[in-house]
C-alpha cells in the first residue's frame, strides 16, 4: 500500500480539506478495518456479505507482521493488508494498531464511516442494511460507561492527573464505529494518547479505556455511548464466550439480530447490533449455511 512509517502516516492522514465540496463524484464508503493475528478466519462469510456491493466499501487488515500468508487474487481481502506491527492483548500497542488502521483508511477520501472488527466477527445483517445504518447515522458508536471497582476506576493511574482525572476515567468495548471527523481527531491526538502510552500498561488494558475516556471528555455530544458489536459476557472471565458449531442455528442468529432495544437517530429500534463475536472457524460451515438466508445477503 505504502512505505510510510507511523509518524508520516498519522501526519498525512490528519490532513482535512478546507474546501468542503469534492472536485469529483464522491460516493461515501464504509471502511471495514480488521484487527487480526493472521488471516481473516471467517473470510468466506464476509465474501458473501460484500458480494455485489463494490464501490461502497473499503477493507483494511492489520495482522501480525510474522504472518506471511496471502489471499487468493479473486478475494476481497487480496492486497488489503496494511504495514503492521506486533500487537499484544491488553497492551497499549493495540491502540497503536487501531490508529494505524484508521490512518490508512483516512487516506481514502471516500471513506465516511469506519468500523473496527476482529477476525472472529460476523455481520448480523446484509450489506445494504449495515451501510444505510452507518452512513445515515448522526452519531458515532463508541461504548462509554463509568465503572467503580477494580476493573473500572481501579485501573486508573494517578500519574494521569491533571490532564485526565479519576472522575473522567471511562471504560467500554474495544470494538468501535466512528465517522470521519472523529477518526481524524483520534489519529491526531498527541495530548491524551501519550498519557496512556506512559501510564496505562499491564493490567490497565488501554484498549478498554483510551477511546471511551477520550471521547467522553471531548466528543460526547455526538456519541451514542454504545457499541455495534455484540458479545456474550455471561460466562464471566476476561474474555467473552466463544460461539462454536452447535451454537449456530437460524434461531440463534435471529436472537442476536433483534432482541435488544436502543435509540437510533432519536427513535427507538431493535436493530442495535450490526456485528457479533467471537465465532470460531468450526462454526464457519453452519454460518455459510444459515447466515445468508437469515441475514438476506444479496438484497
Q: Tell me the chain's radius of gyration from C-alpha atoms.
A: 19
Single pTM value for the model:
0.95
Dihedral angle sign, alpha carbons of residues 119, 35, 43, 273: positive
pLDDT tens-place string over residues 15-62: 988 888 888 888 999 999 999 999 999 999 999 999 999 999 999 999
The domain 6-295 is placed in CATH, from the list 1.10.10, 3.30.310, 3.90.550, 1.25.40, at 3.90.550
User: Residue range 113-117: average pLDDT?
Assistant: 99
pLDDT at 235: 67
User: Residue range 76-94: average pLDDT?
Assistant: 92
The better pLDDT of the pair 144, 233 is held by 144
pLDDT tens-place string over residues 222-241: 999 999 999 986 666 666 77
Query: Over the chain, what is the mean pLDDT?
Result: 94
User: Residue range 67-80: average pLDDT?
Assistant: 91
User: Residue range 106-118: average pLDDT?
Assistant: 97
pLDDT at 233: 67
User: Residue range 150-179: average pLDDT?
Assistant: 96
pLDDT at 236: 63
pLDDT at 226: 97
pLDDT tens-place string over residues 260-279: 899 999 999 999 999 999 99
CA angle 219, 104, 194 (to 5 degrees): 50
pLDDT band of residue 130 (cuts 50, 70, 90) is: very high
SS3 letters across 91-124 = CCHHHHHHHHHHHHHHCCCCEEEEEEEECCCEEC
φ and ψ at residue 89, rounded to 5 degrees: -60, 130
pLDDT at 238: 64
CA distance 166 to 262: 28
CA distance 87 to 66: 11
pLDDT at 20: 80
pLDDT at 167: 97
Q: Would the pLDDT of 97 be above 90?
A: yes
pLDDT at 219: 97
CA distance 166 to 153: 7
CA distance 158 to 178: 29
**Bond preceding residue 40 cis, omega within 30 of 0:** no
pLDDT band of residue 71 (cuts 50, 70, 90) is: confident
Question: Three cell numbers at 234?
Answer: 455471561
Question: Three cell numbers at 214?
Answer: 477520550
- Please state the domain extents for the chain: 6-295
**DSSP secondary structure string, 3-25?**
---HHHHHHHHT---SS-S-SS-
Are 276 and 124 in contact by the 8 Å Cβ rule? The answer is: yes
pLDDT at 21: 84
Amino acid at each position: 500500500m505504502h512505505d510510510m512509517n507511523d509518524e508520516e502516516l498519522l501526519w498525512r492522514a490528519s490532513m482535512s480539506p478546507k474546501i468542503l465540496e469534492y472536485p469529483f463524484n464522491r460516493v461515501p464508503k464504509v471502511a471495514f478495518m480488521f484487527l487480526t493475528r493472521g488471516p481473516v478466519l471467517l473470510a468466506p462469510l464476509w465474501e458473501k456479505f460484500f458480494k455485489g456491493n463494490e464501490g461502497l466499501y473499503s477493507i483494511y487488515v492489520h495482522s501480525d507482521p510474522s504472518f506471511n500468508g496471502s489471499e487468493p487474487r479473486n478475494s476481497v481481502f487480496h492486497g488489503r493488508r496494511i504495514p503492521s506491527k506486533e500487537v499484544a492483548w491488553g497492551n497499549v500497542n493495540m491502540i497503536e494498531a487501531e490508529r494505524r488502521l484508521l490512518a490508512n483508511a483516512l487516506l481514502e477520501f471516500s471513506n465516511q464511516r469506519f468500523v473496527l472488527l476482529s477476525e472472529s466477527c460476523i455481520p448480523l445483517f446484509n450489506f445494504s442494511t449495515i451501510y444505510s445504518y452507518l452512513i445515515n447515522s448522526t452519531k458515532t458508536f463508541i461504548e462509554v460507561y463509568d465503572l467503580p471497582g477494580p476493573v473500572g476506576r481501579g485501573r486508573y493511574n494517578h500519574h494521569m492527573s491533571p490532564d485526565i482525572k479519576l472522575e473522567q476515567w471511562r471504560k467500554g468495548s474495544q470494538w468501535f464505529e466512528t465517522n470521519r471527523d472523529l477518526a481524524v481527531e483520534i489519529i491526531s491526538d498527541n495530548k491524551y494518547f501519550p498519557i496512556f502510552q506512559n501510564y496505562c500498561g499491564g493490567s490497565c488494558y488501554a484498549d478498554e479505556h483510551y477511546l471511551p475516556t477520550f471521547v467522553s471528555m471531548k466528543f460526547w455530544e455526538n456519541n451514542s455511548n454504545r457499541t455495534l458489536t455484540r458479545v456474550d459476557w455471561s460466562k464471566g472471565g476476561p474474555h467473552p464466550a466463544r460461539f462454536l458449531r452447535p451454537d449456530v442455528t437460524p434461531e440463534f442468529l435471529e436472537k442476536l439480530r433483534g432482541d435488544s432495544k436502543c435509540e437510533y437517530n432519536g427513535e427507538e429500534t431493535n436493530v442495535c447490533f450490526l456485528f457479533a463475536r467471537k465465532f470460531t472457524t468450526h462454526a464457519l460451515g453452519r454460518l455459510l449455511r444459515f447466515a445468508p438466508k437469515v441475514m438476506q445477503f444479496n438484497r
